[in-house]
A and B are shown apart, each in its own frame.
Chain A
Amino acid sequence: MSDKGKDVDLTRAKQNTGVWLVKVPKYLSQQWAKASGRGEVGKLKIGKAQGKTVVSFNLSEDLTVVECSGEKVSSVRSPREHPFTMQTVGGQSLAVFTESSDKLALEGMVVQRAECRPAVSESYMKLKKLQIEESTKPLRFSQKLEKAITTNYKPVSNHSYNLEYEKKKKEEGKRARADKQKVLEMLFSAFEKHQYYNIRDLVDITKQPVIYLKEILREICVYNPRGPHKSTWELKSEYRHYKEGQEEEEEEEKME
C-alpha cells in the first residue's frame, strides 16, 4: 500500500452523528461568506405546525446587503426568510468526510436533506432581476473609439530588430574552418549528450561551415534519412556506446 493512503479517522463516525445536507442558493452563500465575528449568519427556526415539521431560516439583518457590480448603490436587499424544504435521504447513503492538509476524518452520516428556498418577496424579485441583468452582459463587447489610433504602425526604414540581426551576423563573420581535431572533439562531446542531431543544430554547435562539417560528419557519423529520427546524424556504431562511463579516449584512438 502506498504511503499516501491515509487512515480515515472514524471516531466521529462511530458516534453516529447525524448531519443535515442543505442546498443553499448561491447568493445566500455569498452573503454568508461576508459574515463577521463568530460567523453567525442567522437563525434557524424548527417548529411543528399541524403535525409537520417546519424549518425556516432567517438571515441576519446585516447580511442582507447585497453587493452589486454596477455603480449604483444597491437598493436591493436579499430576502430574509428562507423556508427549508425537507427531503429524505433515501436512495443513497451519504457520509461526510473531511480532508485537512494532513488527515482524513469521517464526520458523520447525513440524516436529512433540505433545500433552502428564499421566500418569494419583492426584494427577492429585485435581486433576481439584478442578477439576470448581470449575467446577460456579454463578457466582451465592442466599443466605438473617438479617435483613430495612429501610434501603432509607422513606416520605418529598417526595423530595429533587423538591424540587430545584421549586426550580429557581421560580428560573427563567416564560419571558419577550425582544426579537425577540435571539431571532432566538439562533435563527440555533443553526441555524448544526445544521440541524434540535425545538421542545422550541429552547425550551430560547432560553428563550422556546412560543407566542411559534412565532410567530417561523413567520417564518423551516419545519416538517417528515414525512420523515427528523420534526417538526423548519429555516430557510427563503432564510435558509440551509450552506457555508463563513456571513454572519449577510446573514440579518439579509434579515429586516429
Chain B
Amino acid sequence: MTSLGSSSSSTTEYVVRVPKNTSKKYNLMAFNAGDKVSCSAWTQARMERDMSNRRIYGEEESQEGAAGSEFGKKQKEESRRKKYGIVKKEFKVEDQPWILKVNGKAGRRFKGLKKGGVTENASYYIFTQCADGAFEAFPVHAWYNFTPQAKHRTLTAEEAEEEWGRRNKVVNHFSIMLQRRFREQERGDDDDEEGEKGGKKKKKKGGRGGDLRIHDLEEDLEMSSDESEGSNGEDDEAKAKSKKDKGPKGKGKKKKKKGSDFEGFEDSDDGDFEGLEVDYMSDESSSEEEEQEKTKPNKGEGVPKGIDEMSESEEESEEENKNEEDAKEEEEEEDGKKTPVQVEKKKKKDSSGESDSSEDSDIEGEAASALFMKKRTPPKRGGGRGSAGSSRTGSRPGTPSIDNAATSNTLRAAANKLEQGKRQTTIPSSETPAAKRLKMEPSPQSSSGKSTPQPVSGKSTPSASDVQLTEDAVRRYLIRKPMTTKDLLKKFQTKRTGLSSEQTVNVLAQILKRLNPERKNINEKMHFYLTE
C-alpha cells in the first residue's frame, strides 16, 4: 500500500485480489428500501429453497405396476411427447426461490426470487477490504430479490372480484376481512358450535346495533392492530375460538376506531348481515324453543296465528278472556324468550291467516292467547297488529286513515304493539277485519289494564313510513323476483322502518317462516321466491 501525496489530491493504493479457490458462492440479497430491512437487527435467520415448484416440473409418476397401470405406459408417454415435440423444463434447484425466515416463527418471512440475466453481459464483484488493507473481489453468482411475505389474511382472487363489485356500496372496508374470517369459521366449525356462534353473532350485532356495546371477550383477548388496514396481526395459528372471539371484538373495536358505526353499519349491509343466513337456517335452538312454547298456548292446535292474524280473525270476547289468563301465565314464564316466541307465533298465525282467512275463526282461541302473550312481552311487536292486518288484507276497504294511525310494521317493537293495541280501537271493520277489530278492542283494554300505559304516539309510525316490514311487503318482493335474505334486509333498512337491526332480523325471519317461500340456489346463494 503506497500513499502518494500531492497538493490537491491524495490517493491511496490498494491491491486487489481475486481469490481463486473459494468454495463459497457469493450471492446478492436485494431488499426494497421501503421494507426497512436491517440485517444487523436480525437475531436469527433461516433460509431454504422453495421447492414448491417441483411437482409442476417433476413428473409425478403414479405407482408403477399393480392396479391402474398399463403395460408400457411410460414408453408410450415418452414417445408421444417426442412426437409432439413437447419439451419439459427441467427443475433446477439452483433456480428455485429462497424462503428466508427472520427471527423465528413470529418474525418476518421473505421470498427471494432469482433475477435473471445478471451474469450474462457483465459480472458483478463484491469488493471486501481485508485486514491487510487489500481488496478482495468475489464474483457474484446470483442475484435474488427478496420481498416480504404478508402474514395477514388476504382475499383470494374470487373474493377480491366479489368485493370489487361491491366497492361502491361497502363503506366499512374493515369488515370485509372480518366477514371472510367469519365465513371461514362457519365452514370449519361443527354444528355444535353453531349455536354458540349464533349467539355470538347476536351479541356482535347487538354490539353494533346498540351504542358500541363492548364485547365481553374484549377484555380477555389482546387485539394488536398493526399497520395493515384494519386486519389484525393474528398469526396463522389462531385457534378457531380465538378467531371467533376476535371477530366480534375486532368488529367492535373497529367500529370504535372508525367512529362511524352507525353509518358503516347502515351502508355495509352486505357484509353486516352475512351471518344472518346462519340464523335462519341453522339456528334451530331458538326456533325449537319458540315452537315448544308456541305449542303450549296453542294447546296442540294446528297452525298458530300471529298477532296480525289474531287481530283480523273473528274472536269472541269470552274466549279472549279465557285465553287471556292462559296467555298471561305463559307470558310470565317465558320472560326471556318472548320476542322470538311471539314473533314466531304471530308469524305462524299470520301465515295461516294470509292463506286462508277462514281459518281465523278456528284459531281464535290461540290467537287471543298469543295476542295477549305478545302484548305482555316488552313492547316489541307493537301496533304491528293493526297495521299488519290493514296492510296485509287488501280487502280491507277504505281504511287509509287507520293505516296511518297504526302504520307500524307487523312485527314492530313490543312497545309499539302496546301502543297500537290501544289505538286499534278505532279501526273500522270488514268481515274478517271485523273480528280482528273486536279482538283488538278488548285487547288494548286488557293490555292497558295490565301494563303501564305507553305513550301512544311513541313508535306507532315509523320516522320514514316509506317501507314497512310487513309480510305483505315481503310477499310483493318475493313474487316479483327471487331474493336472498340479504336483499330483503336491504329493502327494509332500519332507518326507514324504524326497527333496530335485531328486530328487523327477527321480524323478517318470522315473516319468512310464515310465508314459507320456495327456495332456489342462484349463484350459490339461497334465494326465496313466491309464485302466485
List residues of A whose CB falls within 8 A of some B CB.
1-2, 4-8, 10, 13-14, 16-17, 19-26, 28-29, 32-33, 35, 38-50, 54, 57, 90-101, 104-110, 114, 190, 192-198, 201, 229, 232, 242
B217 at the interface (CB under 8 A from A): no
Question: DSSP majority for the B interface?
Answer: strand
Residues of chain B with a CB closer than 8 A to A90's CB: 33
List B residues 478-531 near A (Cβ within 8 Å). none
- Interface code B1-28, partner A: CB below 8 Å = 1, 0 otherwise? 0000000111111111111100111111
- Residue among B20, B46, B68, B127 with max Cβ neighbours from chain A (10 Å): B127
Residues of chain A lying within 8 A (CB to CB) of residue B13: 43-46
- Whether the Cβ atoms of A95 and B31 lie closer than 8 Å is yes
Q: Which residues of B contact A23 (CB under 8 A)?
A: 122-125
B14:A43 contact, CB within 8 angstroms: yes
Q: Which residues of A contact B449 (CB under 8 A)?
A: none
* Of listed B19, B32, B68, B139, residue having the most chain A CB within 10 A: B68
B128 close to A (CB within 8 Å)? yes
23 contacts between A and B (CB under 8 A): A1-B46, A5-B48, A22-B126, A23-B124, A29-B125, A29-B139, A32-B137, A35-B18, A39-B20, A40-B17, A44-B16, A45-B14, A46-B12, A92-B30, A96-B126, A98-B25, A99-B24, A105-B24, A107-B128, A194-B70, A195-B70, A196-B71, A198-B72
**A10 vs B45: C-alpha distance when bound (angstroms):** 8
- Whether A47 and B11, one on each chain, are in contact in the complex, defined by CB atoms closer than 8 angstroms, is yes
The answer, yes or no, to whether B436 is at the interface (CB within 8 Å) is no
B34-42, B354-362, B458-466 - the one binding chain A: B34-42
Asked whether, in the complex, the Cβ of A96 is within 8 Å of the Cβ of B28, the reply is yes
**B23 nearest CB neighbor, chain A only:** A100
In the complex, whether B157 has a CB less than 8 A from a CB of chain A is no
Partner of A47, one of B10, B25, B49, B69: B10
Docked pose: A23 CA to B123 CA in angstroms:
6
Check B223 for interface membership: any CB of A closer than 8 A.
no
CA distance A42 to B29 in the complex (A): 28
CB-contact partner of B20 in A22, A35, A193, under 8 A? A35
Contact partners of B28 in chain A: CB under 8 A = 21, 94-97, 110
Contact residues on B (Cβ < 8 Å of other chain), bracket: 35 or more
**Distance to closest chain B CB from A53 (angstroms):** 10
Contacts A96-B26, A232-B70 known; A21 to B45 CB distance under 8 Å? no
Judged by a CB distance under 8 angstroms, whether B305 is at the interface is no
Neighbouring B residues of A24 by C-beta, 8 Å: 122-125
B residues near A232, Cβ cutoff 8 Å: 70
Nearest Cβ distance between residue B431 and chain A, in whole angstroms?
70
Confirm or deny: B281 has a beta carbon within 8 angstroms of a beta carbon on chain A: no
A19, A43, A45, A193: which contacts B65 (Cβ < 8 A)? Answer: A193
Residue of A nearest to B32 (CB): A92
User: Known: A104-B47, A232-B70. Is A48-B33 also a contact (CB below 8 A)?
Assistant: no
Residues of A within 8 A of B125 (CB): 21-24, 29
Task: List 12 additional contacts besides A1-B46, A7-B45; criterion CB under 8 Å.
Answer: A1-B48, A8-B45, A21-B127, A24-B124, A38-B19, A47-B9, A99-B25, A114-B127, A194-B69, A194-B73, A195-B67, A201-B72
Are A41's CB and B137's CB within 8 A?
Answer: yes
Complex Cα–Cα for A96 and B20 (A): 19
* B94 and chain A: residue at smallest CB distance: A99
Indicate whether A97 sits within 8 Å of B27 (C-beta atoms), given known contacts A54-B9, A195-B70.
Answer: yes
Q: Which 3 A-B pairs have the closest CB atoms?
A: A47-B11, A242-B67, A5-B48
Residues of B within 8 A of A22 (CB): 124-127, 137
Q: Is the interface of A mostly helix, strand, loop or mixed?
A: strand
Whether A93 and B65, one on each chain, are in contact in the complex, defined by CB atoms closer than 8 angstroms, is no
Q: 0/1 per residue, B43-82, Cβ < 8 Å to A?
A: 1111111010000000000000111111111000000000
B10: min CB distance to chain A, Å: 6
Most interface-central of A41, A47, A97 (chain B CB within 10 A): A97
From known contacts A44-B14, A47-B9, A92-B33, infer whether A98 and B24 are also in contact, taking CB-CB under 8 Å.
yes
Do B31 and A20 have beta carbons less than 8 Å apart?
no
Which of B29, B31, B37, B100 has the most chain A CB within a 10 Å cutoff? B29
Bound: A93/B29 CA distance, A? 8
B135 at the interface (CB under 8 A from A): yes
Known contacts A54-B9, A95-B39, A96-B29: A197-B71 contact under CB 8 Å: yes
Asked whether any CB of chain A lies closer than 8 Å to the CB of B168, the reply is: no
- Known contacts A21-B28, A96-B126; decide if A40 and B48 are in contact (CB<8 Å): no
Is A57 a contact partner of B16 (Cβ separation < 8 A)?
yes
The reply on B452 being an interface residue by CB < 8 A is no
Chain B residue at minimal CB-CB distance from A95: B29
Nearest-CB residue, chain B, relative to A105: B24
Q: Which residue of A lies closest to B66 (CB)?
A: A242
In the bound complex, what is the Cα–Cα distance between A197 and B33 (angstroms)? 61
Tell me whether B11 and A46 are in contact (CB under 8 A): yes
Which residues of the partner chain A approach B40 to less than 8 Å between Cβ atoms?
Answer: 13-14, 16, 109
A195: chain B residues within 8 A (beta carbon): 66-70
A193 CA to B17 CA, complexed, in Å: 62
